[in-house]
Structure 1
Amino acid sequence: MSSGTRPAGNGRLVTGVAWALLLLGLWLWGRGVTEGPGGLSAPTTGDIAAVGRPLGAALPPARDPLPAVEPRRVEIPSLGITAPVVPRGLDSTGAIDPPPFEMPHTVGWYGPGTRPGAAGAALLVGHVDTDTRPAVFYGLSAARPGAKVLVTRADGSLAEFTIDDVRVFPRDRFDPAAAYGSRDPRRSELRLITCGGTFDPTTRTYTANVIISAYLTGP
C-alpha cells in the first residue's frame, strides 16, 4: 500500500498550466494512489478515526505565505512522525513518482507543484506500509484538527501548519477539487496523502485515500 502508484501502476498526472487539467491528472493519480504492497491491514481501523473539523472549533488564524523554499523534513509531533522529504516528479509513464518502496520512511513532495509555506496547496505523499512493516504515514488517519505539522525548509526556516481536517476519500467517489484544490488561493496550504480503507489482495489496491488538510499558522 502506498501514497502513490507502484512503478507499474496506471495512475497518471496530466501536466499543463490549466488548473482543470492538473485536477484531472491528480484525480487519475488518486485512483492509482491506492495501489501497493498491502502487507498490513491496520490502517483500515485507523480510518475510523478520520474526522472533519468540528463545528465551531476555534483554530489559529492563517498567516501570510512565506517565500517559496523547498522542504527537507516533515514532523507531526502528535503522531510521532518525523521524516526526510525528497522532491518527486513524474515517472516514464507520466505518473507521479512516489518514494521507492525501499524508502518506506521517506516522504515525497510533488516538486513541480507548490513549495510548503508558499501560497497554494503543497502535496506530500508517503507510504502507509510495505509487505512486512509499517511505513512513514501508517498512523496518519489518527491525526486530529488542531495538531501541528512542522516542515523544515532548505534555508533552515520552519513552516508551522495546523491541521484543519482529516478525510477519507473512497476510490469510487474521489473528488479531486476537494482533495487537492486550494481552499483559499491566497494562503499557504498543505496536503498529506496516503492510502486507506480496506485492502483487496486480489487487485492489490486499497479502497480509499486518507488526506490531511492543513494551513500555515506560523514560521
Structure 2
Amino acid sequence: MPDERASGAGRLLTGMAWSALLVALWLWGRDVTEVPMAVSPTTGDVAAAGRPGHALPPAHDPLPPARPGALTITTANIRAPIEPHGLTRQGAVEPPPFTRPGAVAWYQGGPAPGSPGAAVLVGHLDTDRAPAVFSALGDLGPGEKIGVTRADGSTAEFTVEDVAVFTKDRFDAAKAYGPRRPDRAELRLITCGGNYDRERRSYSANIVVSAYLTDTTAPFATTDIRKA
C-alpha cells in the first residue's frame, strides 16, 4: 500500500507539473513580445510549413536527466548557449533578455533535452537592430539534425519531425508542445512568427519546431540535474 500511494502521488505531481507547464507555454505563446529589426520585420511562415517526404530515423531510448549546455543546428548556422529559465511574474516562460539575443532559454520546470518528455527551448526571432538566435528557425525541415550538449558529457542528437506555425488567437499549448509519444525524448524549439503588430508590439503567431531524440554521442552517466 505505501508504494501504491507513493506511485499515485507521483503521477498526480507529474500531472500537476505538466498542467502548469501548459499554462505557462500558453501564456508565453500569447504574450511574448518582440521588437522587429528595422530592415526586415517579416517572418518565415511559408517555410515553416515543413517539407514532407523525408524518411525519418527510429527514436533512440531516452537518456538520464542532465542539464543542457549548448544548442547546435548546423544547417541554420545556430550555435548558442542554453540558459535555465523559469517563469515570469505573469506566469509565462521567461525568454533570454534582449541583451543576450544569441542565447536560448530552457524551461527548467519541464524535462531536460534527451530525457523522457518534451523539453522546451525558447529564443528570440530578432531585436530592433538585427536577427536573433532563432531568426532562421522557420527554415528548418523534417530530417534536419539538432544537437544539444549536456552536463554529463554527452551530446543528444535530435531529428526534426515537423515545423509549424500556431496563431496566437487559436493557440493550443497541449497540441503544440505536448509529448507525442510517452516513450520518447522530444524537443520543442519556439520563437515568434507571423505578422508583427506595431501597435501591440507583438507577433501574431509562434513557430514551433518539433524534434525527437535519434542518437547520442559520448558515454553518459546519471546526473542529478539540480546539481549540474
Q: TM-score, normalised by structure 2?
A: 0.83
Shift of 1:53: 5.6
Of residues 20, 45, 48, the one that matches 2:46 is 48
In structure 1, give the amino acid aligned to 2:210. Answer: S
Answer yes or no: is the 8 Å Cα contact 1:148–1:162 preserved in 2: yes
* Separation in structure 2 between the aligned mates of residue 45 and residue 23 of structure 1, nearest angstrom: 25
SS at match of 1:17: helix
Q: Which residue of 2 aligns with 1:150?
A: 147
In structure 2, give the amino acid aligned to 1:181. Answer: G
Matched, 1:79 2:67: no
Answer yes or no: is the 8 Å Cα contact 1:40–1:134 preserved in 2: no
Q: Which has the larger radius of gyration?
A: 2
Answer yes or no: is the 8 Å Cα contact 1:43–1:139 preserved in 2: no
In structure 2, give the amino acid aligned to 1:73. Answer: A
In structure 2, give the amino acid aligned to 1:157. Answer: S
Task: Quote the RMSD (CA, aligned, Å).
Answer: 1.8
Query: CA-to-partner distance for each residue in 1:35-54, whole Å, 9 max, x for gaps?
Result: 12223474635221112462
SS at match of 1:24: helix
In structure 2, give the amino acid aligned to 1:170. Answer: T
In structure 2, give the amino acid aligned to 1:49. Answer: A
Query: CA-to-partner distance for each residue in 1:63-120, whole Å, 9 max, x for gaps?
Result: 1000100100000111111100010012334332211100000000001110000000
Q: Which residue of 1 aligns with 2:172?
A: 175
Shift of 1:58: 1.3
Answer yes or no: is the 8 Å Cα contact 2:27–2:93 preserved in 1: no
* Separation in structure 2 between the aligned mates of residue 59 and residue 214 of structure 1, nearest angstrom: 11
SS at match of 2:49: coil
Of residues 115, 120, 123, the one that matches 2:117 is 120
Percent identity, aligned pairs only? 58
* Separation in structure 2 between the aligned mates of residue 213 and residue 90 of structure 1, nearest angstrom: 22
* Separation in structure 1 between the aligned mates of residue 190 and residue 179 of structure 2, nearest angstrom: 15
Q: Which residue of 2 aligns with 1:66?
A: 63
SS at match of 1:47: coil
Shift of 1:29: 2.1
Q: TM-score, normalised by structure 1?
A: 0.87
* Separation in structure 2 between the aligned mates of residue 23 and residue 95 of structure 1, nearest angstrom: 10
Residues 1:218 and 1:49: Cα distance change in structure 2 (over 3 Å):
same
SS at match of 1:150: strand
Matched, 1:30 2:29: yes
* Separation in structure 2 between the aligned mates of residue 147 and residue 43 of structure 1, nearest angstrom: 26
Residues 1:18 and 1:109: Cα distance change in structure 2 (over 3 Å):
closer
Residues 1:45 and 1:196: Cα distance change in structure 2 (over 3 Å):
closer
